[in-house]
Amino acid sequence: MFGRGAVRTRDLDWLQAMLDAEAALARAAERAGLAVAGAGAAVTATATTEQFDVAEIGRQAALTGNPVPALVRALSALVPADARAAVHIGATSQDIIDTAVMLLAKRAIGAIGADLVTAAQKAAQLARAHARTVMAGRTLLQQAVPVTFGLVAASWLTGIDDARRELDRLAATRLAVQYGGAAGTLASLGTNGPAVAALLAEELGLAEPALPWHTDRLRIVQLAAALAGVCAALGKVARDVTLLSQTEVAEVAEGNDDPRHGGSSTMPHKRNPVASVLVLACARRAPGLLATLAAAAEQEHQRAAGAWHAEWETLSELLRLTGSAASWSAALLSGLRVDAARMRTNLEASGGLLMAEHVAAELAPAVGRLAAHDLVSAAATRAAGSGGGLVSALLGDTEAAAALRAAGIGEAELAVAVDPASYLGASAEFIGRALAAHYEEGAQSGER
């Protein structure tokens, strides 16, 4: 439920990312002339999780406070003797773990991005298909004024696109190698440190930072914020779907042909919005994880005592949950069913009350804005109390009827004024803008 999709942050994934960092460092050292020819290839060939006892590395990590010392010993024992000098050369434990974090994040962002592309494409299709599907807009959970379902989907689309764009920006500019040695000086390599750092970044396809960032954790906070932003955008979609799929509303439904989808252990009739519920469950946990990582960013001197360690599982969980939310959202939007007839029925249920703003605007030139508001508000109150419609309440009141006549509004004009399709404002233009921005960005990035 919370690990759907292709994001992987298990212990073995961490181990492989650390091994990838060690292997890339050995290759960089060889390229810099600090290791014998073939050392990089030898370490790389050995750096696969199948050759390591992850449980034993974990047990030894409890003795040293992190798993890298045990990993380095195990890796050194497995490589040829002449390649051992290239293992962990110039590095400290944090260099390997932080670089592994960046690798895990890069791989996770690729998987998350793929699901966000799918989700955005499906939202765009819904926006285009339902640009004229009128429904009740709701504020504070009450019917407000008409909107279109296309506009709702367009707002989902822009949220997803914005979140994906920020994630892509971060992946391109802020995922950087960590290589500073014991206290961020690379003193053990003499003057060769910066060259090896540059080669390490090149080997891993990560950015080369201006200097080591052992206790400058802004990159981690920015990564966490971008992930939380994705969860926020997807949570908005899921929350709307849960509300619109309530039995009494029933304007949308999750599409899944498996009869077990949404089932209950006790109630045979239930068809719960499972995908939406799980997106929300993932998204609800993101702010707390972000807060933990932000709190951990204040770190001491050249190496943190505990705050750095607090990041590992927290960030792993945030990556995993964001990946799961993205995967569930792609499935949710791919199969979402829209009931336009039900939307129209719900629009008509209030007897035209959600068109009160439009009627007041039509009356305002004749009687003034505030007076028009008060007249229509009083009529709406009478209509709600009697169960009659807004039109009847207006025409049945002497003062309101006189105001309508003064404004040149007869029954025909009033019928138009309470037609939801006549009061959609710039909905069509806004949908068009959202779609244009989405397709333009897709064309620039080569998406199809």
The CATH number given to whatever domain includes residue 272 is 1.20.200.10
- Tell me the pLDDT of the chain averaged across its residues: 94
Instruction: Tell me the per-residue pLDDT of 90-100, one tens digit each, with 9 for 90 and over.
Output: 999 999 999 99
Instruction: Tell me the per-residue pLDDT of 236-281, one tens digit each, with 9 for 90 and over.
Output: 999 999 999 999 999 999 987 666 666 655 656 667 899 999 999 9
The full DSSP string for 170-190 is: HHHHT-B----TTTTS-GGGG
pLDDT for 47 equals 98
Residues of the chain by 3-state class (helix, strand, coil), percent to 5: 70, 5, 30
16 belongs to a structural domain: no
Do 373 and 335 share a structural domain? no
pLDDT for 139 equals 96
Do 297 and 413 share a structural domain? no
pLDDT for 448 equals 41
251 belongs to a structural domain: yes
Do 238 and 360 share a structural domain? no
pTM of the predicted model as reported, rounded to 2 decimal places: 0.93
Per-residue b/e over 334-348, b at no fewer than 16 CB within 10 Å? eebebbeebbbebbe
Tell me phi and psi for residue 270, to 5 degrees: -70, 140
69 belongs to a structural domain: no
Copy the structure tokens of residue 229: 């932003």
Do 257 and 362 share a structural domain? no
- Looking at 342, 367, 392, the residue that finishes a domain is 342
pLDDT for 350 equals 86
What does the pLDDT average to over 14-40? 98
pLDDT confidence tier of residue 81, bands split at 50, 70 and 90:
very high
Instruction: Tell me the per-residue pLDDT of 99-146, one tens digit each, with 9 for 90 and over.
Output: 999 999 999 999 999 999 999 999 999 999 999 999 999 999 999 999
Note if 320 is an active site residue: no
363 belongs to a structural domain: yes
Give the count of domains, the chain.
2
- Looking at 308, 342, 376, the residue that finishes a domain is 342
Do 310 and 263 share a structural domain? yes
Per the structure, the complete domain to which residue 272 belongs is given by 92-342
The whole-angstrom separation of Cα 159 and Cα 11 is: 32
Residues with Cβ within 8 Å of 429's Cβ and at least 6 positions away in sequence, in order, are none
**Residue 148 pLDDT > 80, yes or no?**
yes
pLDDT for 415 equals 85
Of the candidates 303, 342, 344, 382, the residue annotated as catalytic is: 303
Do 331 and 362 share a structural domain? no
103 belongs to a structural domain: yes
Do 365 and 303 share a structural domain? no
402 belongs to a structural domain: yes
* 256 vs 191, residue with greater confidence: 191
The whole-angstrom separation of Cα 176 and Cα 195 is: 15
30 belongs to a structural domain: no
7 belongs to a structural domain: no
Do 356 and 337 share a structural domain? no
Do 397 and 303 share a structural domain? no
pLDDT for 256 equals 73
Give Rg (Cα) of the chain: 30
Note if 303 is an active site residue: yes
Of the candidates 10, 169, 264, 284, the residue annotated as catalytic is: 264
The whole-angstrom separation of Cα 65 and Cα 68 is: 9
